[in-house]
Chains A and B, each alone.
Chain A
Amino acid sequence: MNRTLRRWSKHPTWRALLLWVLPVAFLAYFFYQPLLALFNLVISPTWGFDLGSLNLDRIWRPLSFTIGQAALSTLLTLILGLPGAWLFARFTFPGKKALKILTTLPFILPTVVVAAGFNALLGPRGWVNLGLMALFNLSAPPIQFLNTFGAILVAHVFYNTTIIIRVVSNAWAQQNIRLRHAAQVLGASPWRTFREVTLPLLKPSILAGTFLVFLFNFTSFGVVLMLGGPQFATLEVEIYIQALHRLNLPLASILAILQLLCTLLITLGHNRVSGLGDVVTSPPAHTLDARKPRTGWERLVVILLIITLFTLLVAPLASLALRSFVKLEPTRGERGEIQRGLTLQFYRELGVNRRGDLFFVPPIAAARNSFIFALITIGITLSLGLLVAYALGQHTAINKFLDPLLMLPLGASAITLGLGFIIVFNRPPFSTLRFPILIPIAHSLVALPFIVRTLVPALQDISRSLRNAARVLGASPFKVWREVDLPLLTPALLVSTIFALTISLGEFGASSFLVRPEYPTMPVAIFRYISQPGALNYGQALAMSTILMLASALGIFIIERLQSPGKDIF
């Protein structure tokens, strides 16, 4: 009996099952249960909700608007991103490294920070409007940027251009240069080489990038809410409004299910095309062929592209940081001649609870909360991520069933997650009122797919023979893990930690459902301050955004340093 048990415990299927238990239980309880609850809410009669009486227009309007804005944003992104990819893949120019680092920024910058950045640049209190007002002695801001459709598009282009640039330029730079040489030697002119060889080989990565950008635009929440305003309700914003402002949970649930189906379709499309990119015949031996722009025409296009990208990436972020140190308007209650100029006032005020309100904790408390939530998120995602990575490494039949289940949260939006959470857990033992642990759990669900994608390839890279060598040299299984796996996994673990940290610090969608006034996170607090009147609130929001931006920037720079070149999270 004992021996059978021991044999069983060594069987790979059994071991894989053991490794799967915790992650599967976590996902089942915290992801699939809320998801089912959404479905249940729609079909169950106890809510007194009648599908037939539903005004289809209330579904069709946000859906069509979501698709429309996502398509338009994606198109604009491609128009700027593809030339950008060409720039990075083919040319060397002064400042390329700096610009390359800048392009990593939007990837992990919280939406509230980006929204605050564009607000500081083009909003009614932003640099451009205040400058024009001072210059021409105007009494009202001349540029209406906030609450326009254009604002949403610009922010989406800001976010996603760099995705296209990174995905496509990586594929471009890694293309075996000999394929192009072969075409040339066989008589293809440069243009024909591009059309017949370069472009067809780039197609999978362009398609994959397009799907990814479309997905991000489709599920965009913070940007639309903060820059577009309520009249431009995407599915996400509509779910948020229906659930939290109108308290119409059944309608919110229907929209959430619709959203889930759409994102699932987009994700499937993305997986289909990104799989095509794997047909690489030989390891690219000669890939480095970036060169200086030669002809005058090339030089002009390159310079224009650099200026456009630099402006797009730097202007909102620089305005944000600068604006948080500069006082340009009177704060409420101040009379007479006001002191304009550099100030640390907005940062000092972060520690003060001006209103003395029970629910309005000082802003600095939000930073502390965010940090604690982030630490818990790191703990949860790293433990689960490691278990999943090892389970997938067992190569058993159950992986086939469990792997897609694991990646499904990728397709679910944070808003859907937040909605599901309040439906399921807004009662003991988890009541969101008393138990903020749900926040880091939601963050973990958002971050987990990224962590798994970082850890699995790192683990696969560890050659089996290294472990065997350690074992033959007398290391026990635990020592093998400590002496071989752990040191080789360390960079990936660090990257995962920073991913979990930055994702948790910036998460806005799910948090906006789960956060209670006395436990605000930084993004929620920023949203709260920036939507309130008064120069002080505005300054505080920008100061906090700046802090969050610096934290995220630091994180992504460290990730860039740790990740081996050529590997990307996409």
Chain B
Amino acid sequence: MLSVDRIYKSYEGQPLLNGVSFEVRESETVCLLGSSGSGKSTLLRIIAGLEEPESGQVAWKGKPLGNTPAHQRRFGLMFQDYALFPHRNVAENIAFGLRMQNLPKDEINTRVNGALQTITMTGFAQRKVTELSGGEQQRVALARALAPNPRLLMLDEPLGALDRTLREQLSQELRRILHESKVPAIYVTHDQEEAFAIADRLLLLHAGVILQSGRPHEFYHHPKNVWVARFFGLGNLVEGTVSAHSPLQVETPLGLIQASCNQDPPAIGEKTTLLFRPNQAVQDPNATENKITGKVLDQVFQGENYRLTLAINDHIPEFNLTLPKPAEIGAHLQVSYPPAQVLCLDNGAEV
């Protein structure tokens, strides 16, 4: 439905969005994930028509929107700071978009009441928005954005300003409301847990481009490169040089490691980075490959498992493991990784 095509936008001379392209399909919630300053909000404003891209285009059902001003796009946008009109009460805020469509008064009233029910704030119609709590303001902002039945809803860090417990509660409510309204949505956040919870599909924005897109679990199992693995905190990253193909062998400070690769492995002699996930280490005394030995530095009890930190050598002062059994601090410990569990990652896009 919405297609964003090679959007370019610079900020103070630096490219901020460097050819961003993606699509949003019918009744799909897409999560745009990126660290702060990555240009997520700018991208939303460009889609909304509040800012103009320097090149590239935004299209709805194939029709370019370049000449459609913001107020004629019928996209909803929920702002990070909610941007509720301080001079209007709750009902008037929700009614604003309906009034802009010049709907009859009765219909506006009915729909405002309906919206208040959806956000379970029926008694709040006449309240001043300045007197609402953060969570209440958030829900009014959502109701205001949804009331005019937008073709697309965009949410800019909608839970960003709230505290942890409220966030978990409201993110469930948001998911329910988005699901019920069936409106295609772009949800912007920097919080991966929130993104995993809300998204049908995830887009990772980094250095001005969509670095990877896919369903949440794909990011976990097949991070596209080192940066993605680091962003999601997937595990220990060890640099090395490819020394042989089939089987793939990489020379690292841990020794010669056999690894596997999702895409074509780098050429022999090229640099690469290996991902060792903490929970995939095995304690098998008969293992012959990928043996790792180190001194236990620290150990934290985590309920079902123990989180250990090993010191391996000068190059790798800290290596994290999750093991079912405790170890003795200061003792030497040997673990091994099956070659299929050591992922060889692309170094290239590291910025």
Instruction: Select from chain B the residue with minimum beta-carbon distance to A203.
Output: B87
Does residue A279 face the partner (Cβ distance < 8 Å to B)?
Answer: yes
**Given A184-B71, A190-B69, list of 15 further CB < 8 A pairs?**
A176-B83, A179-B86, A181-B48, A181-B77, A182-B77, A182-B85, A185-B73, A186-B144, A187-B74, A189-B69, A201-B86, A201-B87, A279-B86, A281-B137, A282-B81
Q: Which residues of chain B are near A188, meaning CB under 8 Å?
A: 71, 96, 100
A281–B70 CB distance below 8 A:
no
Question: Provided the pairs A186-B97, A279-B130 are in contact, do residues A179 and B85 lie with their beta carbons within 8 angstroms?
Answer: yes
Does residue B75 face the partner (Cβ distance < 8 Å to A)?
Answer: yes
A186–B48 CB distance below 8 A:
no
Does residue B101 face the partner (Cβ distance < 8 Å to A)?
Answer: yes
Q: Which residues of chain A are near B97, meaning CB under 8 Å?
A: 186-187
Q: Tell me which of A181, A200, A201, A279 contacts B70 (CB under 8 A).
A: A181
Binding site for A on B (CB under 8 A): 45, 48-50, 69-77, 79-87, 96-97, 100-101, 129-130, 137, 144-145, 148
Q: How far is the CB of B333 from chain A (nearest CB, A)?
A: 45
Q: How far is the CB of B202 from chain A (nearest CB, A)?
A: 24
Q: How far is the CB of A114 from chain B (nearest CB, A)?
A: 37
Q: Which residues of chain B are near A192, meaning CB under 8 Å?
A: 71, 100
* Complex Cα–Cα for A193 and B99 (A): 12
B96–A183 CB distance below 8 A:
yes
* Complex Cα–Cα for A197 and B85 (A): 7
A window 231-288: CB within 8 A of B:
279-283, 285
Binary contact track A404-437/B, C-beta < 8 Å → 1, others 0: 0000000000000000000000000000000000
- Top 7 A-B residue pairs of the complex, sorted by shortest distance between their CB atoms: A187-B100, A186-B97, A178-B83, A184-B70, A182-B83, A282-B81, A185-B77
Q: How far is the CB of B115 from chain A (nearest CB, A)?
A: 13
* Complex Cα–Cα for A184 and B150 (A): 13
Question: Provided the pairs A184-B71, A185-B70, A187-B148 are in contact, do residues A176 and B81 lie with their beta carbons within 8 angstroms?
Answer: yes
* Complex Cα–Cα for A183 and B83 (A): 9
Q: How far is the CB of A62 from chain B (nearest CB, A)?
A: 40
28 cross-chain CB contacts under 8 A:
A179-B86, A181-B45, A181-B50, A181-B77, A182-B144, A183-B96, A183-B100, A184-B69, A184-B70, A185-B70, A185-B71, A185-B77, A186-B71, A186-B97, A186-B145, A186-B148, A187-B148, A188-B96, A189-B69, A189-B71, A190-B69, A190-B71, A193-B71, A197-B85, A201-B86, A279-B87, A283-B81, A285-B81
Report the interface size class on chain A. Answer: 20 to 34
* Complex Cα–Cα for A196 and B70 (A): 16
* Complex Cα–Cα for A181 and B129 (A): 18
Most chain A CB within 10 A, of B70, B72, B144, is at B70
* Complex Cα–Cα for A185 and B129 (A): 19
Instruction: Select from chain A the residue with minimum beta-carbon distance to B150.
Output: A185
Q: How far is the CB of A277 from chain B (nearest CB, A)?
A: 11
B83–A179 CB distance below 8 A:
yes
Q: How far is the CB of A92 from chain B (nearest CB, A)?
A: 15
Q: How far is the CB of B138 from chain A (nearest CB, A)?
A: 12
Q: Which residues of chain A are near B45, meaning CB under 8 Å?
A: 181
Q: Which residues of chain B are near A279, meaning CB under 8 Å?
A: 86-87, 130
* Complex Cα–Cα for A280 and B84 (A): 10
Most chain A CB within 10 A, of B83, B85, B87, is at B83
A187–B101 CB distance below 8 A:
yes
A280–B86 CB distance below 8 A:
yes
Question: Provided the pairs A184-B70, A186-B97, A187-B74 are in contact, do residues A281 and B50 lie with their beta carbons within 8 angstroms?
Answer: no
* Complex Cα–Cα for A187 and B144 (A): 12
A window 27-55: CB within 8 A of B:
none
